[in-house]
Amino acid sequence: MSCSFDKLPSEFRLLLACLHWPLADDDRARIRTLIAQPFKAEEFLDLVQHHQVAPLVFRNLDNAARDLTPATLLSNLRARAANAGRKSLRRVMETLRIAAQLKRASIEVRVLKGIALSIHAYRDATLQDSIDIDLLVPAQQVFEAESVLVGCGYRRIDPLARLTPHRRRWLLNHAHHIALGHSQTHEKVELHWGLTPNPFKHPGFVVEGTPTEYITLAAHQIPSLSAQDMFLHACVHGAEHYWSRLKWLAQIAAMTQAMTSAEFAAVASRAAEFGVTAEMAAAIALTEHYQLTNHREVDVSSEISVARDRILNRSMIASEGASDHSNHNAIVEFRDEWRAGSSFGYRRNLIERTIIRDESWELLDLPDALFYGYALLAPFALMKHRKRMRARRATSRQRVYV
């Protein structure tokens, strides 16, 4: 475990206090106590930006301690929250537009994360600060869906290389989404066909096992996952990224607080059915550690507790250090992924996608008959991959809100 809550920096404790939803009287009192103590406003704003929680932090600070919050800090947060809110509304409209086009093409689509998760957690699509639109489509219709998005003004940006039949098959078995960007608005859409990057890590947690439910937003019906499955997907997604963005944990905490004991038990039972108990247990333990929830616990076996604690330890380092989850050491990163699953299929898939990366397709355009020759380019593809990841992290740090 990381340091105790009281030993965390004052800026981080204030941030955590502002992530409760909905605010209770005790939450307001805690915010007022922490905002009155010495803290560095710039470091606090850096944390807000990194964890992408400006709308929620502003709403809660304004609600609980408007009279105690420095005017410049509150004004800055107000501007960031307003900008994030405008982006969320644009993404709502764009999501509806794309979903309608996919439906016309007879492609089943569901909305993941983003606005759908915000509605589940907060009953408000503007209290989250997402950077893209996540859509889930059947694996056999991914590239049909890509063609529909091209007609909507998008182009594929990840992977960038042309997709031959063999490359398409490889992607479907060794990845779980492709990304497209709009040529004018720069909006980004991720087309998912799987719920996890490695299909062998949680073989029970598959798209076919998650029924479609509709979320009501004004006069619109948005197809998505059920509240239970959305919650579990958020736990798995957060664990994969070691909860390096606290916006994900705040959503988990809000949904957990809204559950009755019976509903929580039902979600824990479904987690066991899907084989994602360790991820759910880690998420709940992390919300307890950061005092975002109270008196909730997931019973786990000794084997699952090892996986839970591994996620917890890495997550607290990532979230408290405001760092990206990715390790800069490729060997250590591969070792961590290797330990995350033990089945033959999982580790074989991990080795295969480590040796043949889609970045190698950009380095040399081999015909499908020579596809496995890309294994010889593995070191160069890895360097290209890590360079791309560094560029993305730098872009994320430079995001502006106003």
Residues 6+ apart with CB under 8 A from 126: 55, 84, 85, 88, 89, 118
The pLDDT of 23-38, averaged and rounded, is 96
Strand partners, 223: 214
The pLDDT of 170-195, averaged and rounded, is 95
Inter-residue long-range contacts of 181-187, CB under 8 Å, 24+ positions, other chains counted: 181/154, 181/155, 181/157, 182/152, 182/153, 182/154, 183/153, 183/154, 183/155, 184/153, 185/90, 185/94, 185/153, 187/90, 187/91, 187/94, 187/132, 187/133, 187/154
CATH code (residue 193): 3.30.460.40
Threshold 0.85, pTM exceeds? yes
Given a cut of 90, whether residue 402 has pLDDT beyond it is: no
Residue 199: which domain range?
91-225
Choosing from 225, 257, 273, the residue where a domain stops is: 225
Residue 154 lies in a domain: yes
Cβ count within 10 A of residue 264: 18
Residue 400 pLDDT: 39
Do 109 and 64 sit in the same domain of this protein? no
pLDDT tens digit sequence for 336-372: 889 888 899 999 999 999 999 999 999 999 999 999 9
Given a cut of 60, whether residue 314 has pLDDT beyond it is: yes
Residue 128 pLDDT: 86
How far apart CA 265 and CA 262 sit, in angstroms, is 5
Choosing from 174, 196, 225, the residue where a domain stops is: 225
Choosing from 225, 253, 270, the residue where a domain stops is: 225
The pLDDT of 68-86, averaged and rounded, is 96
Do 59 and 118 sit in the same domain of this protein? no
How far apart CA 238 and CA 231 sit, in angstroms, is 11
Please check whether residue 139 is in contact with residue 194, taking contact to mean a CB–CB distance below 8 angstroms: yes
Do 133 and 214 sit in the same domain of this protein? yes
Residue 397 lies in a domain: no
Residue 401 pLDDT: 37
Do 53 and 95 sit in the same domain of this protein? no
Top-confidence range, 174-178, 202-206, 339-343:
174-178
Collapsing DSSP to helix, strand or coil, 38 comes out as coil
Residue 106 lies in a domain: yes
Do 104 and 214 sit in the same domain of this protein? yes
Given a cut of 50, whether residue 218 has pLDDT beyond it is: yes
Mean pLDDT of the chain: 91
- Secondary-structure percent of the chain, ordered helix, strand, coil, rounded to 5: 60, 10, 30
Domain count across the chain? 2
Residue 135 lies in a domain: yes
pLDDT tens digit sequence for 235-257: 999 999 999 999 999 999 999 99
